[in-house]
């Protein structure tokens, strides 16, 4: 048996990090077991599905390192879905029901008032041909429900262990709407059977549906896949994720400059018993990934933790790995500049900010420094004490040692006014490394502009 998994997004919006986590779990599971990863676009919602979302999802997955072995679209598989529906009708497992949404809600309210579970009463099964004809003459169109066996359904969940549900506690699920469109369940199961999906790895919010879905698999003559329901990802403040939370879309994380390996590592490893470590290639995760390591509680995806993890990843990147990206960002200075700034970066693209700071001629490009009058007098003295060129990484030490001797300043009082005047920032890379890139002429100009 070839292990086959699928990731089945609806192309109705951006891919958020919770969706991406499910995709990563499936990808890593397939890689670990030498299997196939199928990307299936569940695009049967014609009104909301958009081609631009299809392209965006492809781009997001590729950025994370996920390379599908097969891509299919549900909208192109309607004939298979129709044939399955007809089979279920013919075998008495799919039946027409005519209640409106308001009528169903009134039934549920009456059942709750009687302290009964709000389970559909199967009244539609009691309708005669004449009853159905009369309802259709009124203009009603039926929706179609799957007739559950009302039995105990058991499965061994890859994350949660032994699971079971009594389908007698459930309403017969609606598989086809009154307008003839399919809900999620039937097309998904038909495609899983046709594509030989062996494992369904998805969020725990689907656990309640699994018993009914296993019955549909069996009614269609298919072998139910192995199920694994992982814990859900929540935002940094515990909020549920959705396509409407743009700040945690994969697209926004990519645009913010995070490394794909950092995003993948946090998404996969948070909420497991594994240590959260930065990675360069998600394929390296496959060897250690195990569904059994996933915890039962929600996993918190905190952007602050991502920033810390990404900084660790950036600090480990050599110039040969980022040189082309720095060129694209307009960053000069080569390997020496990368070595100077990288220990203080959270993202690679922040190097462009520091390159602008050291290389800009116009003082308007350097943020205003917060300096007192004593500091301004000190800067004037500092300009007079500047060493001559050439400059290297020893120039800063020699210059500040001379200033300490001349002014009696030390510590923060010695260094901070110089950093503020030259960079406009109170924190950043070591000034000994930055100073040669600023150069003597720009240093004199900045000190003079900030001094008295």
145 pLDDT more than 70? yes
- Quick: pLDDT tens for 276-317: 998 877 888 888 889 999 998 888 889 999 999 999 999 999
Q: How many Å apart are CA 98 and CA 389, to the nearest integer?
A: 89
Nearest to 384 by CA among 399, 396, 372, 395: 399
- 252 is written with which tokens? 């926004």
Polymer length of the chain: 452
Q: How far from the centroid of its chain's Cα atoms is residue 279's Cα?
A: 16
DSSP helix/strand/coil, 127: coil
User: pTM of the full predicted structure?
Assistant: 0.89
- Evaluate whether 253 touches 19 at the Cβ level (below 8 Å): no
- Evaluate whether 31 touches 15 at the Cβ level (below 8 Å): no
238 pLDDT more than 90? no
Burial class (CB in 10 A: 0-12, 13-18, 19+), 448: middle
Q: Beta partners for 252?
A: none
Strand intervals (E) in 110-224:
143-146, 152-157, 161-166, 174-176, 199-203
Query: Is the link from the previous residue into 351 a cis peptide, with omega within 30 of 0?
Result: no
Q: How many Å apart are CA 358 and CA 343, to the nearest integer?
A: 16
How confident is residue 233, by pLDDT bands cut at 50, 70 and 90? confident
Mean pLDDT value of segment 217-239: 89
- Name, in order, each residue with C-beta under 8 angstroms of 237's C-beta and a sequence gap of 6 or more: none
Q: How many Å apart are CA 27 and CA 30, to the nearest integer?
A: 5
- Quick: pLDDT tens for 41-78: 999 887 888 999 999 999 999 999 999 999 999 999 99
How confident is residue 246, by pLDDT bands cut at 50, 70 and 90? low
Measured over the CA atoms of residue 86, residue 92, residue 98 and residue 100, the dihedral's sign is: negative
Q: How far from the centroid of its chain's Cα atoms is residue 110's Cα?
A: 42
How confident is residue 363, by pLDDT bands cut at 50, 70 and 90? low
What is the predicted pLDDT for the residue at 237? Answer: 65
- Quick: pLDDT tens for 99-110: 999 999 999 999
240 pLDDT more than 80? no
Neighbours of 78 (CB within 10 A): 12
Nearest to 22 by CA among 205, 182, 262, 280: 205
What is the predicted pLDDT for the residue at 296? Answer: 87
């Amino acid at each position: 048996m070839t292990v086959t998994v699928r990731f089945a997004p609806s192309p109705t919006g951006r891919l958020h990090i919770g969706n991406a986590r499910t995709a990563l779990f499936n990808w890593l599971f397939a890689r670990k077991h030498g299997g196939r990863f199928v990307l299936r676009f569940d695009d049967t919602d014609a009104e909301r599905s958009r081609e631009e979302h299809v392209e965006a999802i492809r781009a997001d997955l590729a950025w994370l390192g996920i390379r599908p072995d097969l891509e299919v679209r549900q909208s192109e598989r309607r004939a298979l879905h129709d044939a399955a529906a007809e089979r279920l009708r013919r075998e008495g497992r799919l039946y027409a029901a005519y209640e409106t949404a308001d009528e169903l809600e009134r039934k549920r309210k009456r059942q709750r008032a009687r302290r009964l579970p709000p389970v559909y009463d199967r009244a539609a099964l009691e309708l005669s041909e004449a009853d159905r004809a009369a309802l259709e003459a009124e203009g009603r169109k039926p929706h179609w429900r799957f007739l559950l066996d009302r039995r105990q359904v058991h499965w061994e969940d890859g994350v949660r262990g032994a699971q079971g549900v009594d389908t007698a506690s459930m309403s017969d699920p609606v598989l086809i709407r009154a307008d003839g469109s399919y809900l999620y369940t039937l097309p998904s199961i038909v495609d899983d059977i046709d594509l030989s999906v062996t494992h369904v790895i998805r969020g725990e919010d689907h656990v309640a549906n699994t018993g009914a879905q296993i019955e549909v698999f069996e009614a269609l003559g298919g072998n139910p896949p192995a199920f694994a329901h992982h814990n859900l990802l929540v935002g940094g403040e515990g909020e549920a994720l959705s396509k409407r939370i743009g700040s945690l879309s994969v697209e926004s994380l990519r645009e913010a400059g995070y490394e794909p390996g950092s995003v993948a590592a946090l998404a996969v490893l948070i909420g497991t018993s594994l240590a959260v470590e930065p990675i360069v290639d998600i394929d390296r995760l496959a060897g250690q990934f195990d569904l059994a390591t996933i915890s039962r509680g929600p996993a918190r995806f905190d952007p602050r933790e991502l920033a810390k993890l990404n900084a660790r990843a950036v600090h480990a990147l050599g110039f040969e790995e980022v040189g082309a990206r720095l060129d694209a960002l307009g960053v000069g200075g080569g390997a020496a500049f990368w070595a100077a700034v990288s220990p203080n970066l959270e993202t690679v693209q922040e190097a462009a900010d520091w390159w602008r700071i050291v290389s800009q001629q116009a003082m308007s490009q350097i943020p205003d420094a917060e300096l007192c009058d004593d500091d301004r007098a000190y800067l004037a003295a500092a300009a007079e004490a500047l060493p001559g060129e050439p400059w290297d990484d020893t120039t800063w030490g020699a210059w500040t040692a001379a200033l300490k001797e001349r002014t009696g300043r030390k510590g923060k009082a010695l260094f901070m006014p110089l950093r503020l005047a030259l960079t406009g920032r109170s924190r950043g890379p070591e000034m000994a490394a930055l100073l040669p890139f600023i150069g003597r002429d720009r240093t004199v100009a900045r000190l003079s502009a900030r001094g008295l």
